[in-house]
Amino acid sequence: METGMKWKAPMIIALLAVVIVVVAGCAALRESRPLILNREYEKMIAGRLDADYIGTDNCLRACHFHDKKRKDFDLSTMGAQLSRESGMPIVNCESCHGPGSLAVEGITPELVNRDARAGRQTACDYRTLVDMKKLPAQAKSLICLKCHTANATFNLHNWNASTHNLSDVSCSDCHNIHAGHNLKVKPREMTDLCYKCHQDIKAAFALPNHHPVPEKKIFCTDCHDSHGNMSVKNLRKDTVKETCTQCHAEKEGPFLYEHADVTEDCRACHQPHGSVNSHLLSQREPYLCLQCHPTHRLSSTTTAEAKQAVYTRCSDCHSQLHGTDLPSPSGKGTFVR
Ligand code: HEC
Ligand code: HEC
Ligand code: HEC
Ligand code: HEC
Ligand code: HEC
Ligand code: HEC
Ligand code: HEC
Ligand code: HEC
Ligand code: HEC
């Protein structure tokens, strides 16, 4: 008993000490601040530690060259973040172009007036800004991603692994920041945007049978997610079938009589964009079916008729080949009515 007391006292003191240290430590953690100031970090991203942020007003005060760009930008969703009342993170010219103090050094209203009288446009020293034209695609996208993190812009959560990112396509290849105040890709302009790089797809949609994309009834992004996706070919849904049955719901099933698992991937028989064959079929009938099935004769007909039958469209009789809940007249699941 006595020996027990002897070591208990120092033990309690030690424990108390630990508790105090932990509590004090927590308080210190709560007061944590960034290792470096945000603006210093920003300058590092822009690669310009020697320049300073001066704000859009100072950037453009003496210069009316960029008034249109500014007006458009102020009207955009990103530009609207500038207003103090919005309470949102501020986005301005320097958020993307980097700190501007060096670029406007020495530009005064007097100089601008003198240049104007001489019929000249005063140019800032734009070489001190981030060189957008020479920046590698991924680095260019990083300018956007510092704000548009996967958390902030949810549909970018697969961007890093996306084919577009890995193929050196950058955000501004599709989102033209200075084309006007609308930063979103408008559906009606989208086809032309995608065709810029996907000429083969343009050719497919020019075939006699095609999904009505050229007619602007449906759009590339109904089936594809341009920001990347976990499924094949950036399809919107997890599987090809799910992507297709968004609109062709009657093919979804499950059915009592299914075409094995062939209809799980509509590509077994259909082209997604366009085809020379009717119904977007990848092959003409009967050759489509003959890839997997032998021909057959009909017992109820004469030999001549049977031959005839085998080489017409199989789907004339097997009209329920996408699946059906009704058995064929014989009671089997052969997709005939
Ligand atoms: C969200 C990012 C972003 C913001 C904000 C931004 N820019 Fe740009 N800017 C770009 C990109 C990207 C390019 C390069 C365009 C390209 O490669 O097609 C560019 C190009 C330019 C050019 C080069 C000329 C041209 O049209 O190619 C000028 C000038 C310019 N911006 C001025 C401004 C001004 C002024 C502001 C503020 C009102 C501003 N930018 C805000 C991203 C931005
Ligand atoms: C300094 C932070 C910041 C940077 C850098 C930035 N953005 Fe934004 N952006 C915003 C904010 C904030 C909004 C408005 C809120 C929102 O829609 O997420 C916005 C909105 C947008 C929108 C419109 C979304 C809509 O719903 O209308 C697009 C498109 C966009 N940004 C693309 C870009 C691209 C491309 C770049 C790079 C060239 C870029 N942004 C760089 C902060 C930024
Ligand atoms: C291949 C073209 C393409 C590329 C590259 C691209 N986008 Fe988009 N983005 C689109 C299209 C198309 C939409 C319209 C929404 C949709 O239907 O997917 C869009 C929508 C957006 C929106 C609006 C978000 C919303 O929820 O509606 C933001 C913000 C955006 N993109 C930012 C970016 C950023 C940041 C990058 C680069 C990391 C980028 N985009 C790369 C085509 C592209
Ligand atoms: C600046 C050029 C460019 C633009 C614009 C562009 N793409 Fe792409 N896209 C590429 C490149 C490069 C690849 C990869 C090589 C390839 O498959 O052709 C690609 C690949 C793809 C793929 C195949 C993905 C995979 O995993 O194999 C799809 C789908 C796609 N793009 C759809 C679109 C859509 C939809 C648009 C319009 C919203 C678009 N692209 C706009 C350049 C572009
Ligand atoms: C009805 C849905 C649908 C529409 C609309 C659609 N696609 Fe596709 N796309 C697909 C499917 C499904 C595949 C996969 C095809 C395959 O794997 O054989 C695909 C494949 C692709 C590929 C990859 C081609 C390859 O050989 O790897 C590109 C690029 C592409 N589409 C671009 C586009 C563009 C650009 C548009 C709009 C002009 C568009 N798609 C419209 C469904 C669609
Ligand atoms: C965004 C809606 C949409 C999606 C997604 C879609 N389709 Fe279509 N599909 C249509 C429309 C609209 C038509 C044209 C119907 C018409 O002209 O009567 C069509 C036509 C067709 C046709 C030809 C019909 C005929 O009678 O000639 C086939 C086959 C087809 N789609 C298969 C597919 C496949 C396979 C997929 C998936 C890769 C798919 N669709 C995804 C909307 C869609
Ligand atoms: C085994 C081959 C095969 C598969 C797999 C297949 N189809 Fe078809 N599909 C056809 C044939 C053949 C036709 C034309 C004859 C007919 O209408 O039955 C057709 C016609 C269509 C049509 C237009 C006529 C109608 O019935 O509305 C649509 C839409 C269609 N298919 C969608 C799909 C979708 C979506 C999938 C995937 C879930 C799919 N197909 C899978 C062979 C197939
Ligand atoms: C990619 C291969 C493939 C294609 C193409 C295909 N089928 Fe099939 N089909 C199958 C498989 C696998 C089964 C199920 C296996 C079985 O029962 O023999 C099946 C089953 C059938 C059955 C039921 C057979 C039975 O004994 O119950 C019929 C009828 C049929 N297919 C008709 C067609 C027709 C008509 C076409 C053309 C429009 C076609 N198939 C295209 C693979 C295919
Ligand atoms: C004139 C109508 C007709 C045509 C055309 C036709 N079939 Fe059939 N098919 C039938 C009938 C009827 C059955 C027997 C149905 C039953 O017993 O349920 C059948 C049975 C089948 C079976 C199941 C065979 C078995 O032994 O159980 C397959 C597979 C099949 N057809 C494939 C095809 C293919 C492939 C084509 C095109 C090359 C085709 N059919 C053309 C009427 C037709």
Distances (CA, A) of 96 to 127, 144, 155, 267, 272: 14, 8, 21, 43, 38
Residue 226 C-alpha to ligand 3 middle, in angstroms? Answer: 7
| Residue 161 to residue 164: CA distance in whole angstroms | 9
Atom of ligand 6 nearest to the CA of 279: 27
The first and second tokens of residue 117, run together, are 């009288």
Residue 173 falls inside a structural domain: yes
Residues 165 and 232 occupy one common structural domain: yes
Of the chain, the percentage scoring pLDDT greater than 70 comes to 87
Residue 14 falls inside a structural domain: no
Ligand 8 pocket check for 266: Cβ under 6 Å: no
Amino acid present at 281 = L
Ligand nearest to the CA of 241: 7
Residues 123 and 47 occupy one common structural domain: yes
| Residue 126 to residue 303: CA distance in whole angstroms | 84
Ligand 4 pocket check for 224: Cβ under 6 Å: yes
Residue 255 C-alpha to ligand 9 middle, in angstroms? Answer: 19
Residues 107 and 72 occupy one common structural domain: yes
Residue 199 falls inside a structural domain: yes
Residues 161 and 216 occupy one common structural domain: yes
Residues 122 and 181 occupy one common structural domain: no
Residues 173 and 111 occupy one common structural domain: no
pLDDT over 60 (residue 88): no
Last residue of a domain, one of 230, 245, 260: 245
Q: What is the pLDDT of residue 266?
A: 96
Lowest-pLDDT choice from 49-58, 199-208, 274-283: 49-58
Range of the domain at 284: 249-316
Residues 289 and 267 occupy one common structural domain: yes
For ligand 1, mutation pick of 96, 122, 148 (most atoms within 8 Å of CB)? 96
Looking at the structure of the chain, the number of domains it has is 3
| Residue scoring higher pLDDT (253 or 34) | 253
Alpha helices for the chain (secondary structure H): 2-30, 38-46, 55-60, 67-75, 77-80, 93-97, 101-104, 109-117, 137-145, 163-166, 171-174, 187-195, 199-205, 220-223, 240-245, 287-290, 303-310
Residue 57 C-alpha from the chain's centroid: 33
2 falls in which pLDDT band (50, 70, 90)? Answer: very low
- Please tell me the residue having the least CA distance from ligand 8 atom 40: 289
Residue 144 falls inside a structural domain: no
Ligand 2 pocket check for 175: Cβ under 6 Å: yes
Lowest-pLDDT choice from 38-42, 231-235, 274-278, 321-325: 38-42
How many other C-beta atoms can be found within 10 angstroms of the C-beta atom of residue 303?
8
Last residue of a domain, one of 210, 245, 280: 245
Residues 209 and 265 occupy one common structural domain: no
CA angle 215–159–180, rounded 5-degree value: 55
162-183 pLDDT, tens digit each: 999 999 999 999 998 888 777 7
Residues 286 and 307 occupy one common structural domain: yes
46-79 pLDDT, tens digit each: 778 889 888 888 888 777 778 888 888 888 887 7
Ligand nearest to the CA of 214: 5
| Residue 244 to residue 327: CA distance in whole angstroms | 25
Residue 310 falls inside a structural domain: yes
User: Are the CB atoms for 223 and 235 separated by under 8 Å?
Assistant: yes
Query: What are the backbone angles phi and psi of residue 47, rounded to the nearest 5°?
Result: 75, 25
Residues 100 and 44 occupy one common structural domain: yes
Residues 167 and 81 occupy one common structural domain: no
| Residue scoring higher pLDDT (5 or 114) | 114
Query: What are the backbone angles phi and psi of residue 235, rounded to the nearest 5°?
Result: -70, 145
Residue 8 falls inside a structural domain: no
Last residue of a domain, one of 245, 264, 292: 245
Residue 164 C-alpha to ligand 4 middle, in angstroms? Answer: 6
Residue 63 falls inside a structural domain: yes
Residue 300 falls inside a structural domain: yes
Of the chain, the percentage scoring pLDDT greater than 90 comes to 41
